[in-house]
Amino acid sequence: MKELIERLQKRLVDAKFPTGVEPTRKNDRLFEYVDLDWGQVDFYQDLPPVKFPAALIDIDSVSYGNLGNGTQQAIVNIQVRIIELTLSAGGGRAPQELKKRADRVFDLVNEANKLLHLWTDGDTFGPLTRISLEKVNRRDGLKEYRLVYQARVYDESAKKERETVQASPVIKGRLY
């Protein structure tokens, strides 16, 4: 599971705004902060210890099925929280620049999904499949959407090595 989280983090850290989508800051990184979710935006006093926009990743749940000989197939639900600090209203009569900034979270969600849906690293896990998107209502001015992806992982950490025995055949019988 650790490798899965690390590879997802790298994929999102390396992500850039695509051509045609104008970033609203000096660099073209999709996310300013990507990390394992340990409650950075949930348990803070003055300001959360992250830069925005942020992507927080964690394993939501795992179910296992036995394949035999100690090998298991895991169905892993991975939660990706997309969080943006929105200090401006994007109402119908707001200036276009404010609307663009207020709606940027939708660009972030869309671009994150383009990066992750059906993506696989080739050997650690099967293709990620988006299974849900949920808006999170917050009171602190942060705009948050939770994406949940599902992937299959094969766990051979408890695989039993089979002992092989060399048999020496003895054939008894008569020739006719």
Question: Domain 2-155 sits in which CATH superfamily?
Answer: Phage tail protein-like (3.30.2000.10)
Domain ranges of the chain: 2-155
For the chain, give the secondary structure using H, E and C.
CHHHHHHHHHHHHCCECCCCCCCCCCCCECCCEEEECCCCCCCCCCCCCCCCCEEEEEEEEEEEEEEECCEEEEEEEEEEEEEEECCCCCCCCCCHHHHHHHCHHHHHHHHHHHHHCCCCCCCCCCCCEEEEEEEECCCCCEEEEEEEEEEEEEECCCCCCCCCCCCCCCCCCCCC
Tell me the mean pLDDT in the region 138-142.
Answer: 85
pLDDT at 165: 78
pLDDT at 1: 83
Judged against a pLDDT cut of 70, whether residue 45 lies above it is answered with yes
Judged against a pLDDT cut of 70, whether residue 99 lies above it is answered with no
128 vs 121, which has greater pLDDT? 128
Judged against a pLDDT cut of 80, whether residue 115 lies above it is answered with yes
The pTM score is 0.81
| Residue 156 confidence class, pLDDT cut points 50, 70, 90 | confident
Judged against a pLDDT cut of 90, whether residue 164 lies above it is answered with no
pLDDT, tens digit, 9 for 90 and up, residues 5-27 = 999 999 999 998 776 656 556 67
